[in-house]
């Protein structure tokens, strides 16, 4: 077995049942992505449109494709037909643009609302206190469906520092789910990456995005 295969097998064994693993394939080659899929990964995350066209074209619908990078409105017309979920919606304007493009392709686009849980001015994401209002505003759009929340969290040398931010986001997720809003299906709480996914799972994540721990460090 190859390096990526070994990593995938180890991760899938330690991740509890019911937790989805998104292999974050930023700058990875098609053969690398294919090896991860062959080892058992069923969802691939891509950060950039230009890097996603080749692997999606080569691999197709054998897996689910999540857009996990920052999405500019002018790129939505290209992203919507390619991807199965967009995890990084943080404004009504972006949601409305996605809705228009999804209607053109006769699809309903699942989205996650990106939360700026640490309230960092330099990062994207809606503030926790503004999340319910955003969802209330966009939930009537016909061609998107809010499926949950996503957060990145601030950088810490020790990923234990992320725990309170993950905890707050889980609380927000549960609060919104308890409202039982029409056209809102709070199924996914996307938190945690290679260094923090186990902590994120302990704090309630149902979806984790793992890149380096699957593919190894990038050398370019």
Domains and CATH numbers, the chain: 3-215 (3.20.20.10)
Within a 10 A sphere around the Cβ of 124, how many other Cβ atoms? Answer: 16
For residue 66, pLDDT over 70 is answered with yes
Proportion of the chain above pLDDT 70, given as a percent: 99
- Which tens digit of pLDDT belongs to each residue from 6-64? 999 999 999 999 999 999 999 899 999 999 999 999 999 999 999 999 999 999 999 99
The region of weakest confidence among 127-131, 179-183, 216-220 is 216-220
- Which tens digit of pLDDT belongs to each residue from 151-172? 998 889 899 999 999 999 999 9
What does the alpha-carbon distance between residue 204 and residue 163 come to, in Å, rounded to a whole number?
10
Which pTM was predicted?
A: 0.96
For residue 5, pLDDT over 70 is answered with yes
pLDDT at 121 (0 to 100): 86
Confidence class for position 105, pLDDT limits 50, 70, 90: very high
pLDDT at 1 (0 to 100): 63
């Amino acid at each position: 077995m190859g390096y990526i295969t070994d990593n995938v097998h180890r991760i899938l064994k330690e991740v509890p049942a019911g937790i989805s693993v998104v292999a974050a394939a930023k700058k990875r080659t098609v053969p690398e992505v294919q090896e991860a899929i062959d080892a058992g990964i069923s969802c691939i995350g891509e950060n950039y449109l230009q890097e996603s066209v080749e692997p999606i074209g080569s691999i197709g619908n054998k897996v689910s494709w999540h857009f996990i990078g920052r999405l500019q409105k002018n790129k939505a017309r290209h992203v919507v037909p390619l991807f199965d979920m967009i995890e990084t919606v943080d404004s009504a304007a972006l949601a409305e643009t996605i809705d228009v493009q999804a209607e053109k392709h006769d699809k309903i686009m699942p989205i996650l609302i990106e939360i700026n849980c640490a309230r960092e001015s330099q990062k994207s994401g809606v503030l926790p206190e503004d999340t319910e209002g955003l969802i209330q505003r966009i939930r009537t759009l016909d061609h998107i469906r809010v499926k949950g929340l996503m957060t990145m969290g601030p950088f810490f040398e020790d990923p234990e520092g992320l725990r309170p931010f993950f905890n707050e986001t889980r609380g927000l997720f549960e609060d919104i789910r308890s409202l039982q809003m029409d056209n809102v299906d709070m199924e996914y709480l996307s938190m945690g990456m290679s260094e923090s996914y186990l902590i994120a799972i302990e704090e309630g994540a149902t979806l984790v995005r793992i890149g380096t721990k699957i593919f190894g460090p990038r050398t370019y």
